[in-house]
Amino acid sequence: MVLGDFIGKAQEKSHSQLPASGAASQEQAQAAEHVSFYGAHQSGILTPQQNFSNVAAFDVTTDDVKELKELLQKWTEMAALLMEGKPLAEEPQQAKFPPTDTGEQLGIASSKLTLTFAVGASLFEKDGTDRFGLRARKPAGLTQMPIFHADSLQDQLTHGDLIIQACADDPTICFHAIRNLAKAARGVAHLRWQQTGQMSIKADGTKRNLFGFKDGTNNPALNDEMFMKNNIWIDAADGSPWLAGGSYMVVRRINMRIETWDQQPYGDQEGIIGRQKVSGAPMDGQGEFEQPNFAADPEGKKTALDSHIRLSNPRTGEASERERILRRGYNFMENLDQVGRMNAGLLFICFNRNIQTQFESIQKRLTNPKMPDQMLAYTETTGGGYFAVLPGVADKNSYLGQSLFGA
Amino acid sequence: MKTQFKVIVFAAAAALTMAGCAKSETAPAATTAATAASPTPDVAKVPAKEGSAALLKSVEDLKQQLDQKKVDDGKKISGKLDEVWASFEDEVKPKYPELYVKVEKYLTPVEAGLKQSTLDFTALGKLNDELVNVVKELSTSLEDNKGAVNSDAITSSKELQAATKAYNEYVQDQGKQLVTLLEQLDAAVKSGDLKKAQEAYVQARMPYERIEPVIERFAELDGVMDARVDDFKNEDDPEFTGYHRIEHILFVKKTVKDAEPFAARLLEDGKKMQQSIAATNIEATDFVTGVGELMEEAQSSKITGEEERWSGATVPVIRANVEGAQEIYTLVKDELKKKDAALDEKINKSLTAVIDQMNVLSPVGTTWNDFGKLEQSKQVDLKNKLEALAEPLVKMPGTLGQ
């Protein structure tokens, strides 16, 4: 993350130093704005986190598998264009039809847009029905997100047959992508819920969540290939060969009880999280990246046993390592809720190879009613879902979900 | 209409003031605007392309004079500009409403400014430069025929002409039904039978909603008949009349007596509306573009349940909008099929889906299921199906004009 920031800043600088006539270098600069759509894995997972995101879940309304397939083919074409920063139609568009490309992105650089497409369990089976003849292909690990202790899932913010994560350094670019993909889907798939998120743009180092704490200190390095192979990418041997190269995406819309959190003493806040606020260092250490020594503190005198970081990652060696996930969340800040409280929180997104042995093992510890994460008193998960990220699209002759349909 | 006129007057006055014509009163500008808004009837009409070329030449000539700070005869030039604009503005108005307003925005203060005894060259120069740009834009648009729908293609097709004729008959028929059903509402209210009156209320909404784009041409009457409480002090505001006043009395107060004067008034207004409809002729282009307006109505103001908030008769009124769109589609279907069979199939399929869904949610008949009491997921499902129908349907006018 820190490295990504520096690269971003360096590029900005070189932009402004470009001579106005340097067409070639301008092209180069523009190319740096683009993330490639094609590859063994989809973008938006290992891509250094952009500043904004817009996540949209869809209900598929057709029962014709052909239409579903055509939608994914269409989305493939569109996604490749959108990520290249190209308009979906030539401008000016035909005057007598509504525009194909809505146009609010015109004149804005593509801002490293990434699009990540994933499918929910309900696409394979809904109310016991094999909707598209795909039931047999449903990955065993793709369940419907359960209701964990203290969750208050709202129907219109939860689950979905398809989900798209759009991330970019400009919120308009994210919105434009979701808007146009949704527009192209009408009649076949319709928006079920949608959530925007943002990161602080000019932060130094690890960015902070709305509780005021550094969030993501212990995230794996994005170039750690071994980690990704072990913990993120699904393998053909995992049980659903068609999903090889994909990943599981967990989305949790976590409302933070901002007002009550702000009433907690500073020291208590540090205790609840299990880290020092300013530095991000563990309670028993000095620097942000120092590892806490829980073994030396079996009674939780320094770091409480029910503090957030201790329950999330008890640091028990190999077992804890196997559970680790790749987090890629965003903060959200919206208007007030119906009783006038701040409607803000964390759009938690993570990727992992096995939801049950990774995300759920962690989550079950955090929400264990016998010793819940202290932080749960200040959060309320209102939405989200489990999704299987489709394998990457190799080249122009392939499309999203091709292996799912057995082609 | 009224509102638009006010806007023009205001824009003219504001433009003058902003441009620094502090000395000139706003009154003459307003008078000129009035003249411009209602063009002199005896001006010979010319084709818009010709007219805009002439106007462009006039304003470019004026630019030269203004640049040299030497205007021969301001009043005469002002009159000339007015005349040229009047000779083709009627054609511009429906085709390029935005450009029309823009031309008026600059033309009006220029004309007013030219009539002053001392000319403010700086202000006039700036305004006229804007005017030159707008007229250039207008000329280009006319040259490229960048219109919304190619009306020539529709007008020249015998089949579409016949369809237009049939649609006009449909509209007339709905106008007559409107009066009949408002008479029944009036009678039901007078009879004192609440349930009968409630049913008659919803029935009387139907023809109105089926031809909504036509109704909206008569904005003043529409504003009285279909007013929303949001525009008034409260539900008991004596100014609040029309359908929704009656709806409130019948469904919230649950009395019939209080509705009597409003039902009688609505019937009178309905008769006037029917006369207005009888005197109008829907042109080919307006006819097909009506589908978009109807779908927009259904998807934006109705689907939330707001419009029929007290009666809960949202599905019936959406049904009326869809029926109106379906009528238009049915009339041009054969032509559409020839031009784009896939589009026709899509419309057909999504139309069936919407109608089926509405039948499930609230079957056709004199009674209905309260929309507010339907499960949210079912409301969303109806929204999805309307969206899916609107998507191909709005491509119909453009396709027919190819």
| Whole-complex ipTM | 0.77
Predicted confidence band of residue B149 (pLDDT cuts 50, 70, 90)? low
pLDDT attached to residue A128: 94
Predicted confidence band of residue B42 (pLDDT cuts 50, 70, 90)? low
pLDDT attached to residue B23: 37
**pLDDT single digits (tens) A142-155:** 999 999 999 999 99
Q: For the CA atoms of chain B, what is the radius of gyration?
A: 25
Q: How far is B385 from chain A (nearest CA, A)?
A: 7
- Which residues on chain A are in Cβ contact (under 8 Å) with B394? 97-98
pLDDT attached to residue A20: 43
pLDDT attached to residue B17: 40
Mutate which of A94, A96, A180 to test chain B, going by most B C-beta atoms within 10 A?
A96
Residue A306 DSSP SS3 = coil
The answer to whether A96 contacts B401, with C-beta atoms less than 8 Å apart, is yes
Q: How far apart are CA B256 and CA B250, in angstroms?
A: 6
pTM metric for this prediction: 0.76
The answer to whether A190 contacts B387, with C-beta atoms less than 8 Å apart, is yes
Residue B130 DSSP SS3 = helix
The whole-number average pLDDT for the span B45-59 is 89
Give Dmax over CA atoms of chain B in angstroms. 78
Same domain for B184 and B108, yes or no, is: no
The whole-number average pLDDT for the span B98-117 is 86
- Which residues on chain A are in Cβ contact (under 8 Å) with B346? 187
Q: Which has the higher per-residue pLDDT, B91 or A183?
A: A183
pLDDT attached to residue B15: 42
Predicted confidence band of residue B137 (pLDDT cuts 50, 70, 90)? confident
Report phi then psi at B104, rounded to 5: -60, -35
B294: domain CATH number is 1.20.1420.20
Same domain for B96 and B169, yes or no, is: no
Same domain for B128 and B173, yes or no, is: no
Closest CA to A233 of A222, A249, A247: A247
- pLDDT at position B289 over 60: yes
Lowest mean pLDDT among A100-109, A114-123, A179-188, B278-287: B278-287
Q: How far apart are CA A386 and CA A247, in angstroms?
A: 11
- Which residues on chain A are in Cβ contact (under 8 Å) with B299? none
- pLDDT at position A92 over 70: yes
Same domain for B135 and B157, yes or no, is: no
Q: Please identify, among B122, B144, B166, the residue that sits at the C-terminal boundary of a domain.
A: B144
Residue B168 DSSP SS3 = helix
Same domain for B167 and B123, yes or no, is: no
Residue A387 DSSP SS3 = strand
**pLDDT single digits (tens) A183-214:** 999 999 999 999 999 999 988 899 999 999 99
Same domain for B190 and B133, yes or no, is: no
- pLDDT at position A231 over 70: yes
Q: Which has the higher per-residue pLDDT, B18 or B358?
A: B358
Same domain for B251 and B277, yes or no, is: yes
Same domain for B140 and B159, yes or no, is: no
- pLDDT at position B397 over 90: no
pLDDT attached to residue B386: 95
pLDDT attached to residue A24: 55
**Residue B12 domain boundaries:** 3-144
Predicted confidence band of residue A26 (pLDDT cuts 50, 70, 90)? low
- Which residues on chain B are in Cβ contact (under 8 Å) with A186? 384, 387-388, 391
Same domain for B137 and B176, yes or no, is: no
Same domain for B194 and B75, yes or no, is: no
Instruction: Look over chain B and give the mean of its residue pLDDT values, rounded to a whole number.
Output: 86
Predicted confidence band of residue A25 (pLDDT cuts 50, 70, 90)? low
Task: Work out how many domains chain B is built from and give that number.
Answer: 2
Closest CA to B270 of B168, B182, B172: B182
The whole-number average pLDDT for the span A161-175 is 98
Q: What does the DSSP 8-state code read for residue B44?
A: P
Instruction: Look over chain A and give the mean of its residue pLDDT values, rounded to a whole number.
Output: 92
Q: Which has the higher per-residue pLDDT, A2 or B48?
A: B48
Q: How far apart are CA B74 and CA B92, in angstroms?
A: 26
Q: How far is B202 from chain A (nearest CA, A)?
A: 29
Same domain for B180 and B133, yes or no, is: no
Same domain for B192 and B314, yes or no, is: yes
Tell me, rounded to whole angstroms, the distance of Cα B248 from its chain centroid: 26
Predicted confidence band of residue A407 (pLDDT cuts 50, 70, 90)? low
Q: Please identify, among B128, B144, B160, the residue that sits at the C-terminal boundary of a domain.
A: B144
The whole-number average pLDDT for the span B14-34 is 38
- pLDDT at position A156 over 60: yes
For chain B, say whether A156 makes contact (Cβ under 8 Å).
yes
pLDDT attached to residue A241: 96
Q: Please identify, among B113, B144, B175, the residue that sits at the C-terminal boundary of a domain.
A: B144
For chain B, say whether A77 makes contact (Cβ under 8 Å).
no
**pLDDT single digits (tens) B150-194:** 667 777 788 889 999 999 999 999 999 999 999 999 999 999 999
- pLDDT at position B19 over 90: no
Q: How far apart are CA A18 and CA A36, in angstroms?
A: 24
Q: How far apart are CA A205 and CA A70, in angstroms?
A: 43
